[in-house]
Structure 1
Amino acid sequence: MHDVIVIGAGLAGLRCAGLLAEDGLDVVVLEAADAVGGRQRTDIVDGFRLDRGFQVLNPAYPALRRSVDLDALALGSFPVGVRVRTERGMAELRHPLRHPLSIVASLRSGLVNGTDAVALARWAAPALVHPISRLAQNDVTLSEGWDAAGLRGPLRTAVLEPFLAGVLAERRGETSNAFARRLIRYFALGRPGLPAQGIAAVPEQLAAHARAAGADIRLGARVERTSALGSGMQVELADGDPVSAARVVVAVGPDAVADLTGLPAPATNGLQTWWFAAAEPPTRSALLAVDGRGRGPIVNTVVMTNTVPSYAPAGRHLIAATCLLPRGGAPADENDVRRHLSEIWNADVTAWELVRRDDIVDALPAQPAPLGAPRSPRSADRLYVAGDHRDTASIQGALASGERAARAILTDAGAPGSAGSLRR
């Protein structure tokens, strides 16, 4: 009998497994897919490096800094700012403290005025000094939070709303105001980017650490059910003999957690990403672009190879375009996506090759107001649950949840930090 079985080799499961194995426990990780990563996967298609949906990695996340060697990822960083398609053309807004020379251009864009700037500062400033637990007190929706701050002009409607629609996977402003403030804090403090080898480099590094600590990671091991077995737990596989352990951590995605735990399925928001290849990029800018006019299906688009050239073969360029994927609604049509791309970039996109389309129905757990405290990893006797749906909808939330599950197991086993007394 193992000490711990971790079901799922996403970020939460791998982080939990690595910590437990590091502390001397006998840990086995069961993953249904053919590779680790969960929603953080990267595929090589015709020489292009395609993440499973558009991803960004923010080095300002505290749990990320604790978990991985950021230097080893060789991050390519996106500029801190956004390009906005307006009726008058394309405008650029950059982080005013990091790019002070851009302030004049931002003011001339017509997207920023004094009232909006003060209102944005009033809304965002608390996140720079208060923990999220304080921000969550008397929490409201993001839309209500902006209204209360007096943020109603073009900075909101043409910049923040379209930008955050892609980040939060919803454009109705129903997300927790406290959570959105916290995300903006991380954007302000960090420079989001991507590993040279794709987002999969993060879970691959976590898996390598877990294996080095002694964890056994088994791929292609689909779990069908868990059940109590004497003083432990038994896990039944779709193909193979049952596996038993003293404790089990369910660290699967939001779409599968209900089947293995009996807990209600967490609500999620969906995203759709289109990957196009081109001989020439529509711009040399590495900024994320949005449509400030409120048109079309695309919430953001970016030339990936202007930030991470390794995402495409030599002499080629990769462009990502992301749309919302409403549950039960019709996905965006390729013709509409191409039309919208041509408007945003002011370019002829007819020759662009569609490499792949990713429809991620459960891209992110919904984070409605009011924001609750992170949920306990303890689900039942000797059964634990980890994942961003137990914390916050982010890489930070997934990693922190995995850490919390590991701490709970160490505590429940009787002697935190003492490997010898944990082997029960």
Structure 2
Amino acid sequence: MKDVIIIGTGLAGYTAAHYLAKSNLSVLMLEKSKTVGGRAQTKKISGQYFNMGPHAVYKKGEGAAILEHLGIELHGRSPKLSGEIYEQNDAYTAPFTASGLLASSYLSWKERKEWMLLIMRLSSMKIDDVPQQSYEQWIESNVRSDRVKGLLYALGRLASYCHAPDIISAKVMLAQVKIALGKVLYLDGGWQSLVDQLHNKAVLLDVQIKKESNVQQICTDEKNGFKLTLSNGEIIYGKHVIFTGEPQALNQMLDIEHPYRDDLSTMKAVKAASLDVALTKLPQPKRLFAMSTTDPLYFAVHSSYAKLSEHGDSIVLHCLKYLRPSEQANNEQVRIELEQFIERLQPGWKNEVITSRFMPSITVNHRLPRANEESPLLQSLAVIPGIYVAGDWASPHSMLLDGAVSSGRLAAEHIIREMR
């Protein structure tokens, strides 16, 4: 019998566990797999550290502030904003810095002025004042130049990993863009460094962590609050539950009527295809970052700013394609597309490959935040009294790490108030 049972050991679950344990509540975390960390895990392959695609911590985001408050150290460096942008097959200097803007031939002088004013406006923007509309509607209403629009669409993809401007909420997307402009951080050792610190601190706080424990059913129990049945038949009781997995999976677990069944079942995930590559050296050492304004493609060499290899001179880079919702892409064609984009930037790179990993469809965020979406569930995080949700999909105004960590903290705070 525990005060709180947390289903899932990702960043949201561990964040909640820390706040709860520090309030002297007994906490049990259940993880269905053999390892903890969820999608924040880093795999070591041939001595190279691969995140599940390109990961970055937004330095100005709520997630970084919460992790630092919990005593989690964020070791790494911020990448430079310099690089290249592609329009069709033409390459230009990226106008994301003052020097880049002056050097780039991508924008006319009139367009440069519009772009500078737009960046200044985004930096000081109050997100609450943004109307309920899609990101595409906001851009079409506020930007004149087609090339400035293209830059803003690319910047939105970069900040949110989402390629659905006609669907995604302008409020959420602009919030992501705003914090992305405040620089990002690539972590030494990958995001496993976050997972390891959170796990070790949770153990020191007497949080119990039980792996290979797959929850099949959650139902109410008059005496103990909630009864959880595991796939091996084991029964566990808890006064409160925090669920941090996929939203659709919660519907399958709950043997309880609740008003959010349709909300959970209809959530669409943000997806991407990722090619992670380790090289002995970069054929073009100065080409570290590129995006396309006409294709949803991204390239970055994360190891230039973070230690991502047991071997000091190895290179780890990521190439990503942002996928449309429900896009049924041909895996081999997508892989070829990513390889060709790398070849455009790093000709001859295949001669330097140590190892690589291709993931044709990874979940970036379990919920694509839609325009005009106002779910009472995301405001309260309570499916029913005593059962809360947390995760990258459970925050109404943020995504990715910020959504996961902030919702984990809020769910814990709701329970702490209840218990008091």
Q: Secondary structure at the match of 2:94?
A: strand
- Give the equivalent residue in structure 2 for 1:110: 106
* Higher mean C-alpha displacement, 350-359 vs 139-148: 350-359
Give 1:147's aligned residue.
Answer: 140
Q: 1:401 and 2:407 equivalent?
A: yes
CA distance in 2, matches of 1:64, 1:170: 21
Q: 2:156 touches 2:176 (CA, 8 Å); kept in 1?
A: no
Tell me the residue number matched to 2:379.
Answer: 375
Paired position in structure 1 for 2:300: 302
What secondary structure does 1:246 align onto?
Answer: strand
1: CA distance, partners of 2:191 / 2:381: 26
Please state if 1:168 is matched with 2:163.
no
Counterparts of residues 325-336 of structure 1 (less than 5 Å): 325-326=323-324, 327-333=326-332, 334-336=335-337
Match of residue 337 from structure 1: 338
User: Where does residue 124 of structure 2 map in the other structure?
Assistant: 128
Q: Which moved more, 1:212-221 or 1:279-288?
A: 279-288
Q: Secondary structure at the match of 1:145?
A: helix
Q: Which moved more, 1:389-398 or 1:260-269?
A: 260-269
User: TM-score, normalization: structure 2?
Assistant: 0.86
Which 5+ residue runs of structure 2 have no aligned equivalent? Answer: none
**Partner Cα separation in structure 1 for residue 239 and residue 222 of structure 2:** 9
Matches within 5 A, 1:238-253: 238-239=231-232, 241-253=234-246
Whole-Å Cα distance in 2 between the matches of residues 164 and 172 of structure 1?
Answer: 10
Query: Who is 2:52 aligned against?
Result: 52
Deviation at residue 110 of structure 1 after TM alignment: 2.2
Aligned-partner SS, 1:412 = helix
- 1:256-305 residue CA offsets vs partner (Å, 9 max, x unmatched): 3332347323211211110123222143347431124x25xx61011222
3-state SS, counterpart of residue 406 of structure 1: helix
Q: What is the alpha-carbon distance in structure 1 between the residues aligned to residue 83 and residue 380 of structure 2?
A: 37
Task: Verify the 8 A CA contact 1:384 1:405 in the aligned structure 2.
Answer: yes
Partner of 2:218: helix, strand, or coil? strand
Aligned length: 399
Aligned to 2:188: 196
**Pair 1:34 & 2:34 matched:** yes
Query: CA offset at residue 144 of structure 1?
Result: 1.1
How has the CA–CA distance of structure 1 residues 360 and 225 changed in structure 2, closer, same or farther, with 3 Å as cutoff?
farther
Report what 2:276 is aligned to. Answer: 275
Does residue 95 (structure 1) correspond to residue 87 (structure 2)? The answer is: no
In structure 1, what residue type is equivalent to 2:14? L
Distance across 2 between alignment mates of 1:398 and 1:41? 15
Q: CA deviation at 1:154?
A: 1.5
Q: 1:246 to 1:61 in 2, by over 3 A?
A: same
Partner residue in 1 for 2:417: 411
Evaluate the alpha carbon distance shift between residue 126 and residue 77 of structure 1 in structure 2; reply closer, same or farther with a 3 A threshold: closer
Give identity over the alignment, percent. 17
How far apart, in 1, do the equivalents of 2:269 and 2:73 lie?
Answer: 32
Distance 1:199 1:112 in 2: 40
Query: Deviations 1:301-320 (Å, cap 9, x if unpaired)?
Result: 11222222434633322221
Provide the C-alpha distance between the structure 2 equivalents of 1:361 and 1:41, rounded to a whole number of angstroms: 13
How far the C-alpha of 1:93 sits from its partner, in A, is: 2.6
**Offset of residue 88 of structure 1:** 4.8
2:159/2:177 contact within 8 Å kept: no
Question: What are structure 1's unaligned runs of at least 5 residues?
Answer: 416-424
The 3 A distance-change label for structure 1 pair 90 and 126 is: closer
- Root-mean-square deviation (Å): 2.6
Match of 2:389 among 382, 385, 389: 385
Matches within 5 A, 1:202-213: 202-213=194-205
Contact 2:12/2:404 (<8 A) preserved:
yes
Distance between the aligned counterparts of 1:70 and 1:176, measured in 2?
33
TM-score (norm 1): 0.85
Amino acid at match of 1:6: I
